[in-house]
């Protein structure tokens, strides 16, 4: 992270803490070019829906149905077991209030679908949406999706000050956890407020790694590479292949416009070496464009999402398959996972111990309390009869 970005964000967050709503209004004028009511009114939501065509609305509704159908299989419930007359387990409870940041410069309504649908399935009751306004308005598709999700708190706020407003409760009730991607200022603000609130991740530029053999259709590979680097500067695509002809075709036919990301080509003797390299990269998206893609699944160790076969391009996963496209980037797939219902719940340890088991085993706790010199820990066990 550029030190100047870190310092600028810290200054914004400090001013928000100190000056509250007046600082939020200043930053809204300075960064969003907006001087008005932050909260979106009901009339705006109604007008937004009316501005969309029936086809646009049906597209959104069908995609949301597919996301819902996929994610409902991730439902997590309490788990309990009985041992020696005692009950142990895990209680699963939804996070009460979350905030979703939806980028607005190049509007990404799919972000709200991918976060909002599993949040509702997980049982989150209060959802706040913030998105930077463009000419004083939020993209109508974002407002329509919010309506379907029964989200009434929507704010015209972008950038680091939007993250601060959600984290500190400025102009709104504070949230418990923040979700959604953004630029480097949004990312840095999320990093700095972590601990005050939870965050989903620190998402970096988009990535795809394609593992391909001689059977891969060259045009498919070419456009799958281009579809990721068009995300912009910093985005990355790798082609790991056993086919020299495929690399030469892509190099000959691909011209990357200024402001896009970059593509790297690596030639290997066999697919196993391609897979080892893919695991080293731990990419956000891993495409398997080989003759028998399912045979490679056992070799996958690190990836945000795996898309197998020629009819599973990354762009399909981004938009309509129903799988979640909020994924770990920058090699963090080594220890992080795709967004799912588990990100919207808390797991709470539970125990209800019977007297017989307690009396039989308390000597273990007394012994450890003695080792750690925690006298009253031991006493709390000894006094029970």
Q: Please give the average per-residue pLDDT across 108-121, as a whole number.
A: 96
Catalytic machinery residues: 284-285
Rounded to an integer, what distance in angstroms lies between the CA atom of residue 157 and that of residue 138? 10
pLDDT tens string 121-164: 999 999 999 999 999 999 999 999 999 999 999 999 999 999 99
Q: pLDDT tens, 203-233?
A: 889 999 999 999 999 999 999 999 999 998 8
Mean pLDDT for the stretch of residues 335-362:
96
Q: What is the pLDDT of residue 118?
A: 98
Query: Can you state the angle between helices 3-19 and 184-193, rounded to 10 degrees?
Result: 60
- As a whole number, mean pLDDT of residues 350-357 equals 96
Residues whose CB falls within 8 Å of the CB of residue 361, separated by 6 or more in sequence, listed in order: none
Q: For all residues of the chain together, what is the average pLDDT?
A: 96
Say whether pLDDT at 2 is over 70. no
Identify the structural domains of the chain with CATH numbers, from first to last: 3-199 (3.40.50.1980), 207-334 (3.40.50.1980), 355-382 (no CATH)
Distance of alpha carbon 46 from alpha carbon 190, whole angstroms: 31
According to the model, what pLDDT value does residue 362 have?
Answer: 96
Each residue of 60-104: pLDDT tens digit? Answer: 999 999 999 999 999 999 999 999 999 999 999 999 999 999 998
Q: What is the mean pLDDT of residues 360-377?
A: 97
pLDDT interval class at 54 (50, 70, 90): very high
Please check the confidence at residue 1 and state whether its pLDDT lies above 60.
no
75 vs 211: CA distance, rounded Å = 32
Residue range 367-381: mean pLDDT, rounded: 97
Quote the percentage of the chain above a pLDDT of 90: 96
Q: For 163-196, what is each residue's pLDDT tens digit?
A: 999 999 999 999 999 999 999 999 999 999 999 9
pLDDT at 106 over 90: no
Contact predicate 130/102, CB 8 Å: yes
- Cα atoms in the Cβ-side hemisphere of radius 13 Å centred on 285: 30
**CA–CA dist 370, 133 (Å, integer):** 61
Is the separation of the CB atoms in 150 and 124 below 8 Å?
no
Entry pTM: 0.92
For 5-47, what is each residue's pLDDT tens digit?
999 999 999 999 999 999 999 999 999 999 999 999 999 999 9
- pLDDT reported for residue 104: 84
Tens digit of each residue's pLDDT (9 = 90 or more) over 257-302: 999 999 999 999 999 999 999 999 999 999 999 999 999 999 999 9
- How many Å from the N-terminal Cα to the C-terminal Cα in the chain? 58
On the CB side of 264, how many CA atoms lie within 13 Å of its CA? 12
């Amino acid at each position: 992270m550029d030190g100047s970005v870190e310092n600028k964000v810290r200054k914004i967050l400090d001013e928000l803490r100190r000056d509250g709503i007046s600082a939020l209004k200043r930053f809204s004028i300075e960064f969003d070019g907006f001087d008005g009511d932050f909260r979106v009114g009901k009339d705006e939501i109604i007008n937004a829906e009316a501005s969309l065509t029936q086809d646009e609305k049906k597209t959104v509704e069908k995609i949301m149905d597919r996301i819902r159908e996929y994610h409902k299989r991730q439902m997590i419930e309490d788990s309990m077991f009985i041992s020696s007359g005692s009950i142990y387990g895990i209680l699963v409870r939804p996070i009460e209030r979350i905030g979703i940041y939806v980028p607005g410069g190049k509007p990404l309504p799919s972000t709200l679908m991918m976060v909002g649908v599993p949040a509702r399935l997980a049982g989150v009751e209060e959802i706040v949406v913030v998105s930077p306004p463009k000419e004083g308005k939020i993209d109508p598709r974002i407002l329509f999706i919010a309506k379907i999700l029964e989200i009434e708190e929507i704010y015209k706020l972008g950038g680091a000050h939007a993250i601060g407003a959600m984290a500190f409760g400025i102009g709104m009730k504070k949230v418990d956890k923040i979700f959604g991607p953004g630029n480097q200022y949004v990312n840095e603000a999320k990093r700095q407020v972590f601990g005050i609130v939870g965050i989903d991740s620190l998402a970096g530029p988009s990535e795809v790694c394609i593992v391909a053999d001689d059977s891969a259709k060259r045009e498919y590979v070419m456009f799958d590479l281009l579809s990721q680097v068009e995300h912009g500067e910093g985005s990355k695509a790798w082609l790991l292949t056993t086919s020299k002809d495929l690399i030469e075709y892509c190099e000959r036919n691909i011209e990357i416009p200024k402001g896009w990301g970059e593509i790297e080509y690596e030639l290997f003797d066999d697919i196993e070496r391609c897979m080892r390299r893919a695991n080293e990269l731990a990419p956000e998206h891993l495409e398997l464009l080989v003759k028998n893609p399912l045979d490679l699944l056992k070799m996958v160790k690190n990836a945000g999402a795996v898309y197998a076969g020629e009819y599973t391009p990354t762009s399909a996963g981004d938009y309509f398959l129903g799988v979640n496209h909020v994924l770990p980037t920058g090699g963090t797939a080594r220890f992080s996972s795709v967004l799912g219902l588990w990100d919207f719940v808390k797991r709470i340890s539970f125990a209800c111990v019977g007297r017989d088991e307690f009396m039989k085993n308390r000597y273990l706790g007394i012994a450890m309390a003695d080792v750690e010199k925690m006298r009253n820990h031991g006493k709390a066990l000894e006094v029970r009869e």
